[in-house]
Every structure is written in C-alpha cells, then in structure tokens.
Amino acid sequence: MAVDRFGRNLHYLRISLTDHCNLRCVYCMPEDMVFQPNAELMQDDEILVLAGMFAQLGFNKIRLTGGEPTLRKNVVELVREIAHLPGIDSVSMTTNGILLPRLAENLAKAGLKRVNISLDTLDEKKFKTMTRWGSIKDVWEGIQAAEQAGLTPVKINAVVVRNYNEDDVLDLARLTLTHPWQIRFIEMMPLGGATEFQQQLVVSAAEISRRVEREFGELIPLHNGKLDGEARVYRIPGALGEVGFIASVTKPFCALCTRARLTADGYLRLCLLREGEVDLLTPLRQGASPAELRQLILDGLWQKPWGHGLAHNEVAVNRVMNQIGG
C-alpha cells in the first residue's frame, strides 16, 4: 500500500496517454501548442510496465486522460491490458468525446468502465470559441455512443470561464432534468503559460451553484453533503441526473487527495498544481531494475506535497494542462 508522509493512502493513478489533442480549449493550451514527438512519450509496453508497478503498490483505480486519450494509437488494446492488470478494479477515461462514436463500444468491451466527457456549453458559437476548433454535434454523438456502450453513468465536465460560458451553466444543469448524467462544473485552474487568463476569468463554484439554485430551486445534497471524489454532488428537485461542483481553487480537496499522475512522457507528477515530478521513463529506458523503479515511485509518492499553493499565489508553470493530464 502506498502512503505519503501525511498518511494519505494513494491508490488512484491518472495516466496521460498523449499530450496531443484534436481541440485547443482556451483554458488548457495555446492555439499554436507544439506537442512532444511520439518517441519522447511512453510507448505501449512502457505504460504497461509502469501501470503494473503502480498496481503492485496498491493502486486500484486508473483514469486515462491526456491531451486527448482517444487519439492514442492502440487505445483499445491499452485499455484491455491495463484493465487486466492484477489489482486494477476500474479503468475510466476523460475525453472530449469526439472519437467515441468510433471507439466507445470497443473500449467498453475492452474493460473501460466509465467516461467523463468535456462539454462547456450548448451554444455552438461559444463552443467553437472555447475549443477553438470543435463542434457540439461531435461531442453530442460521443455522449450518445458512450451511453449506448454502457460507459455509464456519463459524467460531463464543464469548465466555467467568466465572459465565455457562465450564463450557459443553466442550460447544462437543465440536461440533468431528463438525462441520468452528472454535470460537473469545474473551477478553472491556473497552470503553465495561460495563468493570467485562468486567474482573472475563474468563476467560483459558489457563484455557479447560486446561479443554478436561483433557476431551479434549492439543490438537494447527495452523499450526505460529503465530497464524492473531487465533486460535491446535488440533485435538482425531480431531476434524473445530478449536478456536481469541483471547487479546486476556492475549496481545495487536497486533504482527501489519493492521486498520483503519470505524464505522457513518463514523469510521476505528485500534484496537478505543483511542479514536483520524478522521471520514471529515463531510468526505465536505461534498464533500471523493477526494484529500483519501485523505490523511485515509493520515494516520489512519499514526497507528495500537502496541497497546492494557489491561495498564496504559487502557480506551477513547468507544464500546461494537456501535458500533465487533467
């Protein structure tokens, strides 16, 4: 069992399968983003070796992310292999959904349990502005494909950005009246190059939930009002689905964090919002033994920071979001 020096039991690994993406969301990366060459990224066998080591250390929950994880060649095979690693209970994915019509069924058959799909607005023009390149129709078809394939409950991630989509939270929340989805409103986090934009245009979860309550009435807290993962989850009275609020900036959930991240280029990242990392890929390629790699991982996990430092204006600038895997 892996623990850090604060006694947190770490068992949830997010693996970024690639930093590449078929969108360019304004809060995630610059339009002229330059991606890493594939040779610098973990190859399939390297992902499996490292994922297997984390599984041996007690990590039982894996989320595949990116960049856009569905762009990874062999993503179905990777899911199958990861899902079959001894000790792994669940493999899920965060995706922009665009390629799900092609992939959802095979991913589900390979052992993927659930997907979180990003959708920030139901307004086509705003969607294009926020993703720079995307079309809602593609994402919508991705959501349908996920449902049909049984990748449920579908969770929808919406990052709320001032002057871009804060008015759209109502239309998104309204979807839960007729769909058994969980719509999660996420505070924009500052990272890497776009820090000023991200800090100036953040909308707090408290503000978003006030808007939703003004429109739909008092929200009913679920899970006894406690955090479900990173979200506080509620139901609009009479709704089929749920709304969630992820207040990473204004109400950090660091004390309950059980996560570690593996970047697409094979670094163990201890906190999304702190720069500290441990290179695992170089030693792996240089022939480090399983025992040496295991020790590197354990030492890194032990040093996991207590939490992020956004309240003190400490921002991690060494990577942008798609390189770490949100």
Q: Is 62 exposed, middle or buried (0-12, 13-18, 19+ CB in 10 A)?
A: buried
Write the binding mask 201 to 240 for ligand SAM: x where contact by CB under 6 A, - elsewhere: ----------------------------------------
Closest CB to ligand SAM among 100 and 321? 321
Residue 65 binds to ligand SAM (criterion: CB under 6 A): yes
Q: Token pair for residue 244? A: 């969630």
Show Cβ contacts of residue 201 under 8 Å, excluding neighbours closer than 6 positions: 161, 162, 163, 164, 188
Closest CB to ligand SAM among 57 and 99? 99
What, of ligand SAM, ligand SF4, none, does residue 24 touch, CB below 5 to 8 Å by kind?
ligand SF4
Write the binding mask 11 to 30 for ligand SAM: x where contact by CB under 6 A, - elsewhere: ----------x-----xx--
- CA atoms of 245 and 233, how far apart (whole Å): 7
Region near ligand SAM per CB under 6 A, out of 4-12, 182-190, 229-237, 306-314: 182-190
What, of ligand SF4, ligand SAM, none, does residue 198 touch, CB below 5 to 8 Å by kind?
ligand SAM
Residue 165 binds to ligand SAM (criterion: CB under 6 A): no
Region near ligand SAM per CB under 6 A, out of 60-68, 138-146, 210-218, 224-232: 60-68
Residue 29 binds to ligand SF4 (criterion: CB under 6 A): yes
Closest CB to ligand SAM among 57 and 183? 183
Show Cβ contacts of residue 295 under 8 Å, excluding neighbours closer than 6 positions: none
Q: Rule CB under 6 A: choose which of 18, 92, 121, 157 binds ligand SAM.
A: 157
- φ/ψ of residue 234, rounded to 5: -140, 170
User: DSSP code of 219?
Assistant: P
Closest CB to ligand SAM among 4 and 68? 68
Closest CB to ligand SAM among 108 and 205? 205
Closest CB to ligand SF4 among 52 and 326? 326
E-assigned strand segments in 38-122: 61-65, 90-95, 114-118
Radius of gyration, alpha carbons of the chain: 19
**Closest Cα partner for 26 from 168, 231, 188?**
188
Q: What is the DSSP string of 149-194?
A: TT--S-EEEEEEBTTTTGGGHHHHHHHHHHS--EEEEEE----GGG
| Opening angle at CA 211, ends 210 and 216, nearest 5 | 95
User: DSSP code of 72?
Assistant: S
Within 302-321, the residues that bind ligand SF4 by CB under 6 A are 321
Show Cβ contacts of residue 34 under 8 Å, excluding neighbours closer than 6 positions: none
Closest CB to ligand SAM among 253 and 302? 253
Q: Site residues (CB under 6 A) for ligand SF4?
A: 21, 23-25, 28-29, 66-68, 96, 118, 321-322
The contact set with ligand SAM (CB under 6 A) reads: 21, 27-28, 65-66, 68, 94-96, 118, 157, 159, 186, 188-189, 191, 198, 321-322, 326
